Amino acid sequence: MKNIFLTAAIASVALVNCGTVQSLVQNTFPYTANVLVSTGVPADKEVSSTATATNVQTWFGGNNNAKIKDVRISDAKVSVVSPSGGNLSALKSIKVYISSSGTSEKLVASRSDISTDASSLNLDLGNSGFLDEVVKSTGVTVRTVYELKNQTSSDMNLKVALNFSSIPAN
């Protein structure tokens, strides 16, 4: 009976430690892009905005030998930065693509038929697979495509926040 308790205690400690180690070695890194929605943008027309992912380049610097793997989008969100108290009711749809020098564009997040007056909204994650090649390359670019339901009465600044996750490579 004493051996059963001792074995159960050791197994419990080992399982807890494995989970702790896994959470310590999994990396999460953010990327944000600002998108300006001007008053002159017509409704029912897709408009594209591109931003260079300089903070991703700071972490990896186009280093194909970066010791990470299985990079994917873990979370994506759009929110209104200005005007103060603004909301997303003018947005009809939004799509977020990522690419880099020598890689094709991949849809990583989107939302269509937006019907909210909230100031932020979680986006649906695309089935983009692993993004190792993209984030380890130079010139990482995020392109945001949006469509308005109605023309805005004032300029609106949006923030697109992407969180990437990865694990250490051997």
Q: What is the DSSP string of 129-152?
A: ---HHHHHSSS-EEEEEEEESS--
Walk along the chain (170 residues) and give the pLDDT tens digit of each residue.
556 655 555 555 554 444 434 444 567 778 888 899 999 889 999 999 988 765 554 555 444 556 778 888 999 999 999 999 999 999 999 999 998 888 889 999 999 999 888 999 999 998 888 888 887 777 788 999 999 998 888 999 999 999 888 888 77
pTM of the entire predicted model: 0.78
Residue 37's nearest CA partner among 70, 72, 83, 5 is 83
Rounded alpha-carbon distances, angstroms, from residue 165 to 7, 26, 45, 66, 119? 35, 7, 33, 14, 25
